[in-house]
């Protein structure tokens, strides 16, 4: 076969692999939205079977031979072409997955599927001991997975690489070591100022109206309902099932207005990213975010930089007041704006303000590393969690549901994921600073409820490329530097200096 024919054959094999991965995604979405609890065991077997088939498809001798023969052809292509990047991405994926036994991939799929409903029940009962055996099983499997990649600098590196290709544990620790003292100093300055009143956000807000408002806003953002939908779940998430089917979820709290709105805007950021990818990348390994941090940069941008900005609410607050006149008609815009940006250490990560959010992430990173290293046993995790929470935020959770059981991630085996949330915050601010150079009136446009220029800029610079570039490469191409905490600290400092009169 000539190189063009071999490339066509490679693409066919990769579309089959991608279809299997998307099918697992559909099973995951159903499991967390509509599947009855009695289906959890069968769903675990289904996911394990498809995971094994997908793994064998990707790591087959046929795939390896094609990639080996195409490497020299890739060097002849434009290095930024879709084909060159696809060959490079597929080769990297093949080499990594080939080190993992198919049975281990299937065992992880089964264990994490089984653990989801165990976690749901344990959180409902606020009883970590119910979840402990499932987490011990998952942790053992993730250690086995990491050990497939020896030698490594750190056991956490192979797991982090699943979410942030090319980034090492030491890189993240260095970024966080630089970031933490700056955030602590800002937080200390804020705590010395009079506190913001947000009591009016803790009233009864009708669920349907909350849902209606969130739908209106993300439609204005550009979320394509012809290629998406929104459903309720215990823990909000976005699920890509191909570029033509990108689904989001949210959760609604009747007694706290911001929860559903900011969950909806957050997930819409993920989805708009996927919907903005070049459709020529569909059904290939390039049809995904460059990394989870790049993906988080989009969700945190829509949730916070846009959704918590004063300009945004200049346009949308009158509409929100009309939906909830009894609760908000006597609350002026300035008071509302400050309330949704109130800084106060809290137990729940997804409800955390921007000044304390990264503290939640740094704490989780330390706990994950300790679990994988073996210096922390799963049975001791609740105590370690509470101690770390007190160290980082000065709080001690009153129960497991508000502490160690609050996040779904460990039940799904997502060790290595948490740091991407904080990295996403940093990247979002970097991208935003660069975008403002090209669109100096972007906040004025937001104040008119106009997002087309903003979205077009993101699609050109970020979205359309999918996973063609590794995260640090993409950030440097757009902003001129790798991941840097300084733009984020400028953003936070400017914002909270105005709100708290620092």
pLDDT digits 0-9 by tens, 33-91: 999 989 988 999 999 999 999 999 999 999 999 999 999 999 999 999 999 999 999 99
Question: Residues 109, 413: contact at Cβ < 8 Å?
Answer: no
Phi-psi region of 91 (alpha: psi -120 to 50; beta: other; left: phi over 0): alpha
* pLDDT by 10s per residue, the chain, length 502: 799 999 999 999 999 999 999 999 999 999 999 999 899 889 999 999 999 999 999 999 999 999 999 999 999 999 999 999 999 999 999 999 999 999 999 999 999 999 999 999 999 999 999 999 999 999 999 999 999 999 999 999 999 999 999 899 999 999 999 999 999 999 999 999 999 999 999 999 999 999 999 999 999 999 999 999 999 998 899 999 999 999 999 999 999 999 999 999 999 999 999 999 999 999 999 999 999 999 999 999 999 999 999 999 999 999 999 999 999 999 999 999 999 999 999 999 988 999 999 999 999 999 999 999 999 999 999 999 999 999 999 999 999 999 999 999 999 999 999 999 999 999 999 999 999 999 999 999 999 999 999 999 999 999 999 999 999 999 999 999 999 999 999 999 999 999 999 9
Is 333:314 a contact under the CB 8 Å cutoff? yes
**Residues with catalytic roles:** 267
**Where along the chain do its domains lie?**
3-150, 169-500
Distance of CA 322 to the CA centre of its chain: 32
Query: Which residue's structure tokens are 């065992």?
Result: 107
Contact of 100 with 162, CB cutoff 8 Å:
no
Q: What CA–CA distance (Å, rounded) separates 122 from 399? A: 12
Residues 303 and 29: their CA atoms lie apart, in Å, by 22
**pLDDT per residue as tens digits for the range 220-259:** 999 999 999 999 998 899 999 999 999 999 999 999 999 9
> Topology of domain 169-500, per CATH?
1.10.1370
Give the distance between the most distant pair of CA atoms in the chain.
Answer: 74
CA distance 376 to 382: 11
pLDDT tens, residue by residue, 337-381: 999 999 999 999 988 999 999 999 999 999 999 999 999 999 999
Instruction: Kindly write down the DSSP assignment for every residue of 202-233, as one continuous string.
Output: SS---HHHHHHHHHHHHHHHT--GGG--EEE-
Tell me which residue of 181, 161, 162 sits closest to 171, measured CA to CA: 161
Please tell me the pTM assigned to this model: 0.94
């Amino acid at each position: 076969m000539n190189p063009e024919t071999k490339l066509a054959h490679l693409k066919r094999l990769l579309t089959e692999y991608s279809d299997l991965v998307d099918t697992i995604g559909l099973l995951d979405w159903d499991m967390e939205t509509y599947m009855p609890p009695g289906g959890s065991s069968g769903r675990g077997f289904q996911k394990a079977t498809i995971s094994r088939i997908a793994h064998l498809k990707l790591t087959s001798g046929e795939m390896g031979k094609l990639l080996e023969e195409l490497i020299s052809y890739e060097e002849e292509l434009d290095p930024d072409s879709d084909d060159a990047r696809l060959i490079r991405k597929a080769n990297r994926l093949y080499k990594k997955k080939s080190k993992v036994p198919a049975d281990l991939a299937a065992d992880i799929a089964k264990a994490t599927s089984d653990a989801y409903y165990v976690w749901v029940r344990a959180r409902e009962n606020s009883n970590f001991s119910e979840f402990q055996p499932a987490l011990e099983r998952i942790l053992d499997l993730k250690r086995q997975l990491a050990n497939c990649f020896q030698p490594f600098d750190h056991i956490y590196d192979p797991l982090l690489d699943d979410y942030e290709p090319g980034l090492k544990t030491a890189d993240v620790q260095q970024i966080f070591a630089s970031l933490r003292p700056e955030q602590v100093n800002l937080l200390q300055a804020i705590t010395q100022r009079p506190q913001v009143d947000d009591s009016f956000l803790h009233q009864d807000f009708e669920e349907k109206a909350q849902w209606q408002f969130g739908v209106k806003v993300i439609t204005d953002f550009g979320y394509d309902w012809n290629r998406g939908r929104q459903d309720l779940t215990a823990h909000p998430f976005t699920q890509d099932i191909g570029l033509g089917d990108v689904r989001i979820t949210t959760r609604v709290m009747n007694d706290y207005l911001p929860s559903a709105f900011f969950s909806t805007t957050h997930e819409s950021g993920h989805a708009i990213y996927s919907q903005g990818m070049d459709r020529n990348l569909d059904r290939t390994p390039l049809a995904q975010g460059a990394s989870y941090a790049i993906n988080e940069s989009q969700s945190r941008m829509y949730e916070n930089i846009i959704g918590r900005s004063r300009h945004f609410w200049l346009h949308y607050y009158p509409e929100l007041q009309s939906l909830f006149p009894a609760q908000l008609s006597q609350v002026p815009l300035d008071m509302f704006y400050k309330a949704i940006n109130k800084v106060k250490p809290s137990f729940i990560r997804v409800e955390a303000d921007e000044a304390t959010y990264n503290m939640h992430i740094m704490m989780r990173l330390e706990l994950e590393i300790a679990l994988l290293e073996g210096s922390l046993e799963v049975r001791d995790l609740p105590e370690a969690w509470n101690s770390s929470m007190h160290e980082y935020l000065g709080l001690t959770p009153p129960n497991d549901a508000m502490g160690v059981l609050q996040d779904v991630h460990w039940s799904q085996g997502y060790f290595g994921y948490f740091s991407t949330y904080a990295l996403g915050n940093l990247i979002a601010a970097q991208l935003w600073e660069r975008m403002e150079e090209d669109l100096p009136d972007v906040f004025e446009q937001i104040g008119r409820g106009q997002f087309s220029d903003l979205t077009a800029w993101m699609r050109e610079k970020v979205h359309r490329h999918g996973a063609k570039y590794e995260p640090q490469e993409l950030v440097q191409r757009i902003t001129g530097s790798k991941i840097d905490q300084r733009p984020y600290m400028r953003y936070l400092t400017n914002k909270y200096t105005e709100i708290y009169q620092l």
